[in-house]
Structures are given as C-alpha cells and as structure tokens.
C-alpha cells in the first residue's frame, strides 16, 4: 500500500494568517495521464469529511479560493491563504492512484 505522511500533525493558527500542510507519499502519484491522484479532505468536528481538492490542485465545487493545492510526484501542499475560524478541523490527504486508497494521519488545525 502507498503510505501517506502528513506534517505537521497539529497546526495552531491565527485568523487572517496563512497556513500550510505538507503531504508526502511513499510512491509517486503522477500517472502516465499527467495527473497527480492526490485529494485533500477536511473533517470538521462531529462531521463527515468533505472534499476540498482533487487531482492535486483542483478545488471541489463550493470550496473557497482561499484553499489551494500544489505539488507533484511525492510531495504535495495544501495552503490556506487567510485562515478563518470556520476552517478548524482535521485535514487529510489521500492518494487515489492505487487500490486501496490510503489516507495520511491527519493534521489538526485549530485557532
């Protein structure tokens, strides 16, 4: 299985400031079709996870443009340009290149 490693595991932030989460995979997630099969999900307290980013950098429907994804191969980053109080929760990266899909350990973002 592909191992996904996130850092940091905990990220205290100040509203209005930027935040960045790193995700590294044990194998390249770049497919021969030129796409990186890497998603980002946010799980707010007491809620189901929600899709933020797919294919490394494409925002899902309704996701604010404060969120951006970048990276290729084995190294990826989720950035929040200006953190808002509503952004608190646990952020997970997940690889969609191979079965089984595998998630990172999660990064807890709190204000």
Contact segment (CB under 8 A) with other proteins among 13-21, 64-72, 73-81, 102-110 equals 102-110
**Three-class SS of residue 99?**
coil
Q: Are 93 and 76 in contact (CB under 8 A)?
A: yes
CA separation for the pair 111, 89 (Å, rounded): 10
d(CA 67, CA 65): 5
CA distance 61 to 46: 22
Nearer to other proteins, 7 or 102 (CB): 102
41 forms part of the interface with other proteins (CB under 8 A): yes
Shortest distance in whole angstroms from residue 100 CB to other proteins: 4
Minimum gap (Å) between residue 107 Cβ and other proteins = 10
Q: Give me the residues that bind other proteins (CB under 8 A), please.
A: 31-33, 35, 37, 39, 41, 48-51, 53-55, 60-61, 92, 94, 96-97, 99-106
């Amino acid at each position: 299985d592909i191992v996904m490693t996130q850092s940091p595991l905990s990220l205290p932030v100040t509203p209005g400031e930027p935040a960045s989460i790193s995700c590294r995979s044990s194998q390249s997630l770049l497919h021969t079709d030129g796409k990186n099969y890497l998603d980002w999900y946010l799980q707010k307290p007491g809620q189901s996870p929600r899709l933020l980013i797919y294919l490394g950098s494409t925002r899902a429907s309704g996701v604010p443009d404060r969120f951006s994804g970048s990276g290729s191969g084995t190294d990826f980053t989720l950035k929040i340009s200006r953190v808002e109080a509503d952004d608190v929760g646990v952020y997970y990266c997940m690889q969609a290149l191979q079965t089984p899909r595998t998630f990172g350990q999660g990064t807890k973002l709190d204000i």
